[in-house]
């Protein structure tokens, strides 16, 4: 029996991770966020009620799960409290059910101002960040100047350190970015009341997880973003600032690789990307309208329209390898309902040399064109299907083809936004 399951995105984020984490967590004791921050937007739909989570792990709708925000996550205390309040308004109480690592770096106002100022200065070369201060917060971590959650416990030191950091940021904000300066006293004023709320959640989460593993508890590790937004393996520089691939679990929690039993890659039946950067299978016009309207492809965090495209099996095969995927979960199959033809990109070709490229380097992305294989579409509705037998022949063929191309089994298919719109081919804890 599997105990510890990683669920992560294999594309450019928004694959439907939240829905699958929520579904699988009904059986778990712990659900763990290990990287990213409130740039994530994970949507859960239960009995037609929609909840979007940014920082709180997506398994917390189940009363018996404990949420961990581990050391790899960058945490905005203000956003965390906003989310806790939102959940309480929805009668979901997480008191004593969420623990935050003392080593998680903080996101404070100066990170957000810096993120916004940088994007503005980049102009047409902007990355299209979520503007949540993610990049600057991870920079502080790597530069060893970050204030961390544990520092909130020492208020006297906090003020002195905050003053120094704000001084450092103001120098850049004012002189280089011609941005307004920040007053550290205002940041401190807003931060102090948040400490009371989160004080008791601050823990050595690595230790909690080691104990859970020893006690043979089931743990779900919830990825944010997707494999090609990974800082090392993504389409750099159009990436986020953390490791959204499987390595992020190890460094982001302190749980070693031998304790990860099963790694599930979430893949939309087509592709989307929000923000700028390479997207070889991008479509426009009527196909984009189809994906966009039927799939409601608007960002869960920023509301931006997502770019859409066909499934890219070249990058998916790469995601299988860089994450050591055990299996795939195909989401949003229902969005393909009604298409005459469905395409999968099976190779990339360099338009200058006409060579087939296995995976482009940084400078090659602009020169590649996708080579497609075409599949017949279906007219029968798959929305809400709960058994393989409910799917039309062509949908079986499409799923089988993805398995064949990626040499990876598809263990779960999602057929609608609702928690119950799902085909469980294998029970991931049992297989
Ligand atoms: P995440 O960031 O990976 O958790 O994904 P998001 O929540 O940002 O985006 C996925 C969107 O697709 C959300 O609006 C979900 O409610 C929705 N969704 C998830 N699975 C399915 C599915 O199988 N079919 C349809 N139609 N919508 C889905
Ligand atoms: P979930 O977890 C989709 C994208 C941004 C931008 C780039 C860098 O919901 O899948 P950042 O603010 O992280 O510095 O932005 O990454 N991005 C996401 N795209 N889903 C996400 O999260 C994303 N988080 C960041 O749009 O292109
Ligand atoms: Mg999302």
pLDDT digits (tens, 9 = 90+) for 224-250: 999 999 999 999 999 999 999 999 999
- Domain assignment present for residue 343? The answer is yes
Other C-beta atoms lying within 10 Å of the C-beta of residue 243: 24
> Is residue 362 one of the residues assigned to a domain?
yes
For ligand 2, whether the C-beta of 229 sits within 6 Å is: yes
Question: Does the residue 429 lie in any domain?
Answer: no
Same structural domain, 208 and 95 = yes
Query: Is residue 430, in this structure, part of any structural domain at all?
Result: no
Of 74, 81, 120, which is closest to residue 98 (Cα–Cα)? Answer: 81
Distance CA 79, CA 104 (A): 14
Q: What is the pLDDT of residue 37?
A: 98
Q: Does 227 reside within a domain?
A: yes
Cα(300) to centroid of ligand 3, in Å?
5
What percent of the residues of the chain are helix, what percent strand, and what percent coil, each to the nearest 5? 35, 20, 40
- Pair 361, 291 in one domain: yes
DSSP element (H, E) containing 402:
helix 393-406
Distance of alpha carbon 326 from the chain centroid: 19
pLDDT of residue 383: 98
Judge if 91 and 118 occupy the same domain.
no
DSSP letters for 358-397? SS--TTTGGGEEEEEEEEE---S--TT--SGGGS-HHHHH
* Residues 294, 364 share a domain: yes
Are residues 243 and 183 both part of a single domain? no
Token code pair at residue 210: 């080691």
Task: Kindly identify the ligand whose nearest atom is closest to the C-alpha of 331.
Answer: 1
Per the confidence metrics, is the pTM higher than 0.75? yes
- Residue 3 known to be catalytic: no
Q: Quote the ligand 1 centre to 364 CA distance (angstroms).
A: 31
Picking from 226, 244, 263, the residue at the C-terminal end of a domain is: 263
Q: Which atom of ligand 1 is nearest to the CA of 18?
A: 4
Are 12 and 273 spatial neighbours (Cβ–Cβ below 8 Å)?
Answer: yes
Query: Which of 36, 134, 240 to mutate for ligand 2's pocket (most ligand atoms within 8 Å of CB)?
Result: 240
Q: Does the annotation mark 286 as catalytic?
A: no
Q: Write the CATH number for 388.
A: 3.90.170.10
Q: Which of 229, 246, 263 is the last residue of a domain?
A: 263
230 known member of a binding site: no
For residues 218 and 328, state if they share a domain: no
**Residues 282, 239 share a domain:** no
What was the pLDDT predicted at 81?
97
Q: What is the C-alpha to C-alpha distance for residues 91 and 275, in angstroms, rounded to an integer?
A: 34
Query: What residues are neighbours of ligand 3 (ion), with CB under 5 Å?
Result: 14, 41, 300
Residue 431 lies in a domain: no
* C-alpha to C-alpha distance for 96 and 113, rounded to whole angstroms: 32
Ligand nearest to the CA of 43: 1
The bound ligand whose nearest atom lies closest to the alpha carbon of 304 is 2
Chain centroid to Cα 246, Å, comes to 12
178 found inside a domain? yes
User: Does 287 participate in catalysis according to the annotation?
Assistant: no
State the 10-residue block means of pLDDT for the chain, 431 residues long: 92 98 96 98 97 98 97 98 97 95 98 97 96 98 98 92 97 96 96 95 98 97 98 97 98 98 98 96 96 95 94 98 98 98 97 91 90 97 98 98 98 98 92 68
Question: How many Å lie between the centroid of ligand 2 and the Cα of residue 123?
Answer: 18
pLDDT at 1: 76
Pairing of strands 98-101, 66-69: parallel
- State the CATH number of the domain containing residue 75: 3.40.440.10
- CB of 58 within 6 A of ligand 1: the answer is no
CB-count burial class (<10 Å; 0-12, 13-18, 19+) for 402: buried
User: Is 149 part of any domain?
Assistant: yes
Choose, from 22, 38, 42, 115, the residue flagged as catalytic. 42
Does residue 335's CB lie within 6 angstroms of at least one atom of ligand 1? yes
Ligand 2 atom at minimal distance to the Cα of residue 135: 14
Q: Which domain holds residue 375?
A: 267-424
Residue 226 Cα: closest atom of ligand 1: 3
Asked if 177 and 239 sit in the same domain, the reply is no
Q: Are residues 216 and 236 in the same domain?
A: yes
Residue 190 shares a structural domain with residue 300: no
Tell me: do 410 and 272 sit in the same domain.
yes
CA 145 / ligand 1 centre spacing (Å): 36
Both 292 and 405 in a single domain?
Answer: yes
Q: Would strands 30-33 and 219-222 be described as parallel, antiparallel, or unpaired?
A: parallel
Query: Looking at the 3D structure of the chain, how many domains does it have?
Result: 3
SS3 of residue 193 by DSSP: helix
């Amino acid at each position: 029996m599997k105990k510890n399951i990683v669920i992560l995105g294999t594309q450019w984020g928004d694959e439907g991770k939240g829905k699958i984490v929520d579904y699988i967590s009904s059986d778990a004791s712990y659900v763990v966020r290990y990287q990213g921050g409130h740039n994530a937007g994970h949507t859960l739909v239960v009995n037609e009620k929609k909840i979007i989570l940014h920082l709180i792990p997506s398994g917390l709708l189940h009363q018996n799960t404990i949420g961990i925000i581990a050391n790899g996550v960058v945490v905005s205390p203000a956003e965390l409290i906003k989310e806790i309040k939102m959940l309480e308004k929805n009668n979901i109480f997480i008191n004593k059910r969420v623990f935050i690592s003392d080593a998680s770096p903080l996101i404070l106002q100066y990170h957000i101002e810096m993120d916004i100022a940088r994007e503005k200065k980049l102009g047409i070369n902007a990355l299209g960040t979520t503007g949540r201060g993610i990049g600057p917060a991870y920079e502080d971590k790597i530069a060893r100047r970050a204030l961390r959650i544990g520092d909130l416990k020492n208020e006297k030191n906090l003020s002195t350190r905050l003053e120094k950091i704000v001084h450092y940021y103001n120098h850049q904000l004012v002189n280089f970015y011609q941005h307004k300066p920040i007053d550290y006293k205002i940041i401190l004023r807003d931060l102090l009341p948040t400490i009371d709320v989160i004080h008791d959640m601050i823990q050595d989460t690595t230790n909690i997880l080691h104990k859970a593993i020893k006690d043979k508890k089931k743990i779900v590790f919830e990825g944010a973003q997707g494999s090609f937004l990974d800082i090392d393996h993504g389409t750099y520089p159009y990436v986020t600032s953390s490791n959204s691939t499987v390595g992020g679990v190890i460094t982001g929690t302190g749980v070693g690789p031998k304790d990860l039993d099963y790694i599930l890659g979430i893949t939309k039946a087509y592709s989307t990307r929000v923000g700028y950067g390479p997207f070889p299978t991008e479509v426009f016009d009527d196909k984009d309208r189809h994906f966009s309207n039927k799939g409601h492809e608007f960002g869960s965090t920023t509301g931006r329209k997502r770019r859409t495209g066909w499934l890219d099996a070249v990058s998916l095969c790469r995601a299988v390898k860089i994450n050591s995927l055990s299996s795939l979960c195909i989401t949003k199959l229902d969005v393909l309902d009604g298409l005459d033809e469905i395409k999968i990109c099976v190779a990339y070709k360099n338009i200058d040399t006409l060579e087939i490229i296995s995976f482009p380097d940084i400078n090659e992305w602009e020169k590649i064109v996708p080579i497609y294989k075409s599949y017949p579409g279906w007219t029968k509705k798959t929305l809400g299907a709960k058994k393989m037998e409910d799917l039309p022949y062509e949908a079986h063929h499409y799923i089988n083809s993805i398995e064949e191309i990626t040499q990876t089994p598809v263990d779960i298919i999602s057929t609608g936004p609702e928690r119950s719109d799902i085909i469980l081919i294998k029970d991931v804890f049992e297989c």
